[in-house]
Every structure is written in structure tokens, then in C-alpha cells.
Amino acid sequence: MTADAERKMQFLYALRSRGVTDHAVLTAMEKVDRADFIRHYFTDRAYDDMPLPIACGQTISQPSVVGLMTQALQVSNRDKVLEIGTGSGYQAAVLSQLARRVYTCDRHRRLVIEAREIFEAQGLANITAFVADGSHGLPDQAPFDRILVTAAAEDPPGPLLAQLKIGGIMVVPVGQSDTVQSLIRVTRTEDGFDYDELRSVRFVPLVEGLGRDA
């Protein structure tokens, strides 16, 4: 086996051993090469199960957390998905393998432009990336079957709850920034919302307004 194939096998093994067991999610993560989303630095750490720095002081999430969040979202190929926090674009690319359509937004223009370049180069035609403050959601494209927030909010943002279809699922890290947050799954029912606490996580904060580069 080549060194590259062996690293990828270890990558998948680490995902499984940390609880990513959904076959479709593992297949999606096998297809999307994380190294493509890490520019310049740290490419040799692309298959390690750790978050890594990207531009604008942000991070690409830990692969096992990407896997667990994607799994918790229960995406099907009929779903229109909204991701808040494009960052490197890696999570959106994983979602694009499972969903019908993915909308993703970030408050930093530079991140959105760089992610778009990768989506285009890889022919990921079902992703649309926007520069926007995702705490307001994307009213023009709402409602969504699934919403994934990849930055920590103090509470699940009201506009995002409002943009979820009945039967829809939102996964969001909730808690004060700089501490450990809880990953919450919210399911919209006919009469309201059901909340499930999944595990503890650590994300950069959801910040209101656009970045200075936007």
C-alpha cells in the first residue's frame, strides 16, 4: 500500500473509532480530500484528527466532529441544506455528497472566495457559497430541510429556527465562546421544537455582522 493510501485508511479508521459509523457519511468523507481545503501550511496534517488553522484566524474543524455533525444531521439526497460558517469549505463539500443542494455562508469574503474556487475546481456544482451574516439565515432560500451551524452560538439563533421546515433538523454548538460548548440537535415538529444534547465540542464563536474584509 502507498503511504498516501495508508494515511487515508487510518483517517477512516480514526473516524469509525470516534463514532462515525454511518456508511454514507464515511463514503462522503472518503471521497472529499481534506488536504485540498488546507492551503499552504499544515497540509501534512490533513488526515490527522485535529482542527487546523485556516485564513482569517478561523479553523477547519476536526474530521471526527465533521463526521459526527453530518451523521447527526441525517441528510438525504432530497434535502436542501444550509451551513453557517463556510470556513475552508470542507464541511460543505462533505454535505454536497449527501444532499440535493447546499447553501453555505461565511462573514469573511476571503474564505467564501477561496472555498468557491475549490468547489468549482472539483465540480461540486450543487454548492452555493454566500458572504453573509449567517445568524440571520438566508431568508431568500428558506425554508431548509437541514441546517448546520459550525460556529458556537449562545442559543440556537431564532431566524434559523424559523427557516427550518417542519420535520427539519438543525445541528448547532451552543454555549459561551472560549469554553466547551454542547452540540445540540433541534428537530422542528408540528407543535414546536425538540432538543437533544449530543456531546461537548469546541468551536469558534458565531460573530454578528460581516468580517472587515467583506
Q: What is the CA radius of gyration of the chain?
A: 16
Per the listing, cell 459509523 goes with 21
Beta carbon nearer to ligand SAH, 159 or 167: 159
Is residue 181 a contact point for ligand SAH (CB under 6 A)? no
Report the C-alpha dihedral over residues 88, 174, 45, 3, rounded to 10 degrees: -100
CB atoms within 10 A of CB 72: 19
Q: Which of 29, 68, 82, 151 binds ligand SAH (CB under 6 A)?
A: 151
Omega cis (within 30) before 51: no
Beta carbon nearer to ligand SAH, 61 or 163: 61
By CB under 6 A, the residues from 109 to 128 that bind ligand SAH are: 111
* Minimum CB–partner distance for residue 2 and ligand SAH (Å): 26
Report the C-alpha dihedral over residues 90, 125, 141, 98, rounded to 10 degrees: -60
Is residue 88 a contact point for ligand SAH (CB under 6 A)? yes
Applying CB under 6 A, the span of 40-48, 59-67, 119-127, 181-189 interacting with ligand SAH comes to 59-67
At residue 101, φ and ψ (nearest 5 deg) are: -150, 140
At residue 149, φ and ψ (nearest 5 deg) are: -105, 125
* Minimum CB–partner distance for residue 211 and ligand SAH (Å): 6
Question: Cα separation of 47 and 34, whole Å?
Answer: 7
Q: Which of 90, 103, 119, 144 binds ligand SAH (CB under 6 A)?
A: 90
Contact 135, 152 (CB under 8 A): no
The DSSP bridge pattern shows strands 59-60 and 127-131 to be unpaired
Residue of 61, 64, 88, 96 with catalytic role: 61
Q: Which of 15, 38, 84, 186 binds ligand SAH (CB under 6 A)?
A: 84
Q: Which of 28, 46, 60, 124 binds ligand SAH (CB under 6 A)?
A: 60
Binding site for ligand SAH (CB under 6 A): 58-61, 84-85, 87-88, 90-91, 105-108, 111, 133-135, 150-151, 204, 206-208
